[in-house]
A and B are shown apart, each in its own frame.
Chain A
Amino acid sequence: GENVEQHPSTLSVQEGDSAVIKCTYSDSASNYFPWYKQELGKRPQLIIDIRSNVGEKKDQRIAVTLNKTAKHFSLHITETQPEDSAVYFCAAWGAGSYQLTFGKGTKLSVIP
């Protein structure tokens, strides 16, 4: 089955700096890669996603890049703000599997 590795597990940045979270996946047939943000005590919510036919996608301060050859994808947050502090999860959808496999999460702390 699919295996998703996520790094780092914790990340502290100064407000205004950029944050990068990286994930690798094992199943070359995976074709959908969402990122979820989970604030303390809340449900995970989608912040951005990318499909295997696209190399990069951007939404305001958030961007995701995908390298299918290397089987890794990354989340980039620019001009971080305190409200970006949360746990971020990457995930991969295995083709034909009806399942998202999640990484173990990255706790991002943005220091004012």
Chain B
Amino acid sequence: DTAVSQTPKYLVTQMGNDKSIKCEQNLGHDTMYWYKQDSKKFLKIMFSYNNKELIINETVPNRFSPKSPDKAHLNLHINSLELGDSAVYFCASSQDANEQFFGPGTRLTVL
């Protein structure tokens, strides 16, 4: 069984477009996250949702908007894509201060 899944796996798009990435976890965790991993492999937290409430927003541009319809899903919508948005985006989930389980990642390429 897949614990944390995300779609799509690859996303290639033009500058200025709007795109969404979906994430689902079947672990029953209360907290879900979005991370951005750039070409230098740094893992940067973007958002955290605990029981559908946003609890962290790490100074991410407001072109990025997370949406959580329920505690098993955390989607990421990006408006007006820029070249610098190209990266791998990972969704993750955890139950409090315990192991975070990561999704397989979405490689976003903005042309």
Contact A105 B104 (CB under 8 A): no
Binds B, one of A43-51, A60-68, A77-85: A43-51
- The total of interchain contacts (Cβ-Cβ below 8 angstroms) comes to 45
Known: A99-B48, A99-B56, A102-B43. A93 touches B97 (CB 8 A): yes
Known: A43-B104, A44-B90, A98-B31. A89 touches B99 (CB 8 A): no
From 26 to 44 in chain A, residues with beta carbon under 8 angstroms from any chain B beta carbon are 31-32, 34, 38, 42-44
Contact A98 B102 (CB under 8 A): no
Return chain B residues, CB-CB under 8 Å to A46: 99-100
Report the separation of the CA atoms of residues A101 and B105 in the bound assembly, to the nearest whole angstrom.
19
Contact B48 A98 (CB under 8 A): yes
A87: interface (CB < 8 Å): yes
Q: Which residues of A contact B (CB under 8 A)?
A: 31-32, 34, 38, 42-46, 49, 87, 89, 93, 95, 98-102, 104-105, 107
B15: interface (CB < 8 Å): no
From 21 to 44 in chain B, residues with beta carbon under 8 angstroms from any chain A beta carbon are 31, 40-44
Q: Which residues of B contact A (CB under 8 A)?
A: 31, 40-45, 48, 50, 55-56, 90, 97-100, 102-105
**Shortest distance between the CB of B100 and any CB in chain A (Å):** 6
Secondary structure dominating the interface of A = strand
**Shortest distance between the CB of A96 and any CB in chain B (Å):** 10
Report the separation of the CA atoms of residues A46 and B41 in the bound assembly, to the nearest whole angstrom.
16
Report the separation of the CA atoms of residues A39 and B31 in the bound assembly, to the nearest whole angstrom.
25
Return chain A residues, CB-CB under 8 Å to B43: 44, 89, 102, 105
Q: Which 4 A-B pairs have the closest CB atoms?
A: A43-B102, A32-B97, A102-B43, A93-B97
